[in-house]
Amino acid sequence: MANNQQDNILNNRYRLDAQHGSGGMSVIYKATDLALGRLVAIKILRPSLTSDPTFLARFRQEARNVANLQHPNIVTVHDVGQDGNTYYIVMELIDGEDLKKRIRTEAPLPIDKVLDYAIKICAGIGYAHRAGLVHADVKPQNVLLVENNVKVTDFGIAQALAATDPNERKKVVWGSPHYFSPEQAQGRNPTPASDVYSIGIVLFEMLTGRLPFMGTDQQELAWAHIRQTPPHVTEIAPAVPEQLERIVQKVLAKEPAQRYRMADQLGRILINYRDQGLGKTNNQNNPVVVSSPPTLQSAQAKPVQKSPYASPDSPEYTASNAASTPETTAPPTLVKNPMPETTAPNSYTSPNPPNIRESGYYTPVDPPQMDVATLVLAFVAFLAVVGMIILWMLVFQAYY
């Protein structure tokens, strides 16, 4: 930094006022932007990370990409910089608690609250997925609650670290082993499906108040993610609806191809589940108040403009709902190398679409009923056919 008298000021612009939090990869400060006169949050990388030139180059690129993400469910990045050996990110300051604290004090959370949080998490992360970014460190500590909104933070650092040499990764604590996907635990690069798995862990924790896998160290936790079958949500919280449990079980599948491949897909499943009023608890003595399930006709006629996923880039978007859906902002075009094992943003199509009947949101449809006029016409046609057969037989006998 500049000198001893100003050791709490970065680049003569950002004054560090107080420590706001910390993690394995960074320390967060509440700060003042002296140039613009506004409060901001500054995340300073730990020195153990900044000694790797490969990581620093990838970190700068990821930070620039994240700065292009403008979404109500993503913490805005204002700036990224360096002051001597200090590397930092400047973000909007969120005056609220993180989801982990809410889970510790209130879990298991009500079903409607779980769905609200999860849908907004999927909206933010899904927007990043369409822009070609993977979060790679989804956990409740990176989900900030502010008033009636949810904002996801800490994009880029874990993804940048995941691209460095595996031997270097072992020297630092990267990510959170409790929320790792199996492929991350095996040292493979994270994909959008990896974020979906981590969202599933967060869902499990909100519904039950505990994590699905426990271990004494990182290696034991990694082995659990790779090999152990997660417990059923209803084994811990019997009041959770079975349909919602099936969704959680699907996103916790060991193989990425067996999950929803992007957060957008999971978000749409949860919206559909919520809108059909299926959030009733198994314990009828303590039900969650929800609306009654709509009929299939009313569900189809329901306006879709409230969904954060209804955009021309969404696979489910059709011309039939384009007129009733407000125009949404397309994901930003980012300058970065395409991620392995993923396709171009906005053209992603899952090779393994969800099984509707197994997901708990399938609505059976009664077979169509024939009216009286149809029955009469069918009977007349039948008599005509019989008459033709009899006439043909008489002609045949007369001829021979």
Question: Which residues form the catalytic set?
Answer: 137
Is beta strand 38-45 parallel, antiparallel or unpaired with respect to 86-92?
Answer: antiparallel
List residues bridging with 27 in a β-sheet.
22, 44
Which value, in Å, is the radius of gyration of the alpha carbons in the chain? 27
Is beta strand 14-22 parallel, antiparallel or unpaired with respect to 143-146?
Answer: unpaired
Between the CA of residue 364 and those of 243, 295, 297, 370, what are the distances in Å?
A: 15, 10, 12, 19
* Distance (Å, whole) CA 161 – CA 136: 10
Do 134 and 192 contact (CB within 8 A), yes or no?
yes
Three-state secondary-structure class, residue 389: helix
Tokens representing residue 43 in the block: 């995340």
* Distance (Å, whole) CA 152 – CA 120: 9
Q: CB-hemisphere CA count at 13 Å for 317?
A: 20
